[in-house]
């Protein structure tokens, strides 16, 4: 299993638009995927999500920071770095999250669930929405 995880980590840390097409080397055809914005089934749908990332964002990349492997599943913690497209003097943005992955007997990913806080990691960084989210956070915190 460690070699499978090594290949997967290397794939995500070197991901680019052309490599999205090679996702089928690591993912099963009927993979299930969920993140804060999407819930899809099937390799083509997952590839579409990752392809769209390169349209919506500038220089997106994953940096895997930790891994925990248990049997036919693992958790990867990661930093997702990117720049907002179309902004002058855009600052590097980072989303910190984790992925829960399950594998079939052939070592292909059949379950991929990403966990990250969309409010803190994304919404608070947007100009108008960010102000509102930070204000709400302060109000709820007391």
pLDDT of residue 21: 95
Can you read off the two tokens belonging to residue 139? 């109000």
- Cα-based distances in Å from 56 to 51, 52, 126, 133: 9, 6, 14, 22
Q: Residue 117's pLDDT is what?
A: 81
CB atoms within 10 A of CB 20: 18
Residue 85 in domain: yes
Q: Domain range for residue 27?
A: 2-117
pLDDT at 89: 73
The pLDDT score that the predictor gives to residue 139 is 58
Residue 114 neighbours by CB under 8 Å, 6+ apart:
33, 34, 35, 36, 97, 98, 99
125 occurs within a structural domain: no
User: Total domain count for the chain?
Assistant: 1
Is 127 part of any domain? no
Q: Is position 104 within any domain?
A: yes
Beta bridge partners, 69, equal 74
* Domain assignment present for 59: yes
Q: What is the pLDDT along the chain (142 residues), one digit of tens a residue?
A: 889 999 999 999 999 999 999 999 999 999 999 998 899 999 999 999 999 999 989 999 999 999 999 999 999 999 999 998 876 777 898 999 999 999 999 999 999 999 988 666 555 556 555 555 555 556 556 5
Q: What is the CATH number of the domain that holds 30?
A: 3.10.450.50
Domain-embedded: residue 129:
no
Number of alpha carbons in the 13 Å side-chain half-sphere of residue 82: 21
Answer whether residue 136 is part of any domain: no
Residue 124 lies in a domain: no
């Amino acid at each position: 299993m460690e070699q499978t995880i090594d290949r997967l980590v290397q794939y995500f840390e070197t991901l680019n638009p052309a490599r999205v097409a090679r996702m089928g080397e690591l993912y099963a055809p009927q993979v299930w995927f969920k993140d804060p914005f999407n819930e899809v089934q099937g390799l083509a749908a997952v590839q579409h999500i990752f392809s769209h990332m390169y349209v919506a964002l500038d220089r997106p990349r994953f940096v895997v920071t930790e891994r925990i492997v248990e049997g036919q599943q693992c958790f990867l913690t990661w930093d997702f770095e990117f720049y907002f497209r179309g902004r002058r003097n855009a600052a590097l943005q980072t989303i910190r999250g984790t992925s829960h992955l399950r594998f079939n007997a052939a070592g292909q990913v059949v379950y991929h669930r990403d966990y990250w806080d969309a409010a803190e990691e994304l919404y608070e960084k947007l100009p108008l929405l960010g102000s509102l989210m930070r204000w709400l956070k302060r109000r709820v915190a007391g």
